[in-house]
């Protein structure tokens, strides 16, 4: 069965960095675009970044552009999010999410979510 | 950016009730609209994609409708396991955006 398992979260001081990982299993990672979505405590969902199946295209939310980098290693079935210059407002659970597509219409959707990893930015 | 507005932000309902949640996009998004359910402490779970397609394994009491700017998620007969927060999400253009959520509580 499809599984996405995030790791790498923790407590970090403002201005520092963390690298989040997402280990994928149960499917062929290299055939799917992938996303990171976050949720601040008690708040709604916020899309953070995405990466095409081969890593050639990446997009970022304005709130993280220039500070976060999404990447993937398809040979290791792993997705990454390098988070630099962390701020208090980056405190959130970070979810790794798989994107599927309806080929006939190009409609995309998030069909599998990981359990999330908590990043807390605090001095 | 496309703004997604859900209403109501919360509602109280009883088991067996018919529940309707509305989502409005700030511009035309055709049918590129998905619905997710989230229970406390858990990751979201896809219910409906492309406005009206039921995700595999999701009970048929859930349905979605709409196109353009106005969309609806309907639960035909609310079950105890349906008490959760529901989010709409547009996949029409980047940045992908979510509605603020609708919390469905027990009356």
Chain B residue whose CA is closest to A103: B50
Identify the H or E element spanning B86: strand B85-90
Burial class (CB within 10 angstroms; exposed 0-12, middle 13-18, buried 19+) of B33: buried
Burial class (CB within 10 angstroms; exposed 0-12, middle 13-18, buried 19+) of B73: buried
How far apart are the C-alpha atoms of A28 and A7, rounded to whole Å? 20
For the CA atoms of A46, B92, B87, B48, the dihedral, rounded to the nearest 10 degrees, stands at -140
pLDDT tens readout for residues B54-73: 999 999 999 999 999 999 99
pLDDT tens readout for residues A28-76: 999 999 999 999 999 999 999 999 999 999 999 999 999 999 999 999 9
Residue pair B64/B55 in contact (Cβ under 8 Å)? The answer is no
Tokens of A31: 């055939």
How far apart are the C-alpha atoms of A112 and B34, rounded to whole Å? 13
pLDDT of amino acid A73: 97
pLDDT tens readout for residues B14-26: 999 999 999 999 9
Mean pLDDT within A86-101: 98
CB-nearest partner of A111 from B31, B55, B100:
B55
Query: Strand, coil or helix: what is A76?
Result: helix
The owner of tokens 């018919």 is: B18
Beta carbon pairs, A and B, within 8 Å: 58
């Amino acid at each position: 069965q499809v599984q996405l398992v995030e790791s790498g979260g923790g407590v970090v001081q403002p201005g520092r960095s963390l690298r989040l990982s997402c280990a994928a299993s149960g499917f062929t990672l290299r055939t799917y675009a992938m996303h990171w979505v976050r949720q601040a405590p008690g708040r709604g969902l916020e899309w953070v970044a995405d990466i095409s199946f081969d890593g050639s295209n990446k997009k970022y939310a304005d709130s993280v552009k220039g500070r976060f980098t999404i990447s993937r290693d398809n040979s290791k079935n792993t997705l990454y999010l390098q988070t630099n210059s962390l701020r208090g407002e980056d405190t959130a659970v970070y979810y790794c999410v798989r994107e599927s597509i309806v080929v006939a219409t190009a409609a995309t959707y998030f069909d599998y979510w990981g359990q999330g990893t908590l990043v807390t930015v605090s001095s | 950016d496309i703004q997604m507005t859900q209403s109501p932000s919360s509602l109280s309902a009883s088991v067996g009730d018919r529940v309707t949640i509305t989502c409005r996009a700030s511009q035309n998004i055709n049918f590129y609209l998905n619905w997710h359910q989230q229970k406390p402490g858990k990751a979201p779970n896809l219910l409906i994609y492309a406005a009206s397609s039921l995700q595999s394994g999701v009970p048929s009491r859930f349905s979605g409708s709409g196109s353009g700017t106005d969309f609806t998620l309907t639960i035909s007969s609310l079950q105890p396991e349906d008490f959760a927060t529901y989010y709409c999400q547009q996949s029409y253009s980047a940045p992908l955006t979510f509605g603020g959520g609708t919390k469905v509580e027990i009356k």
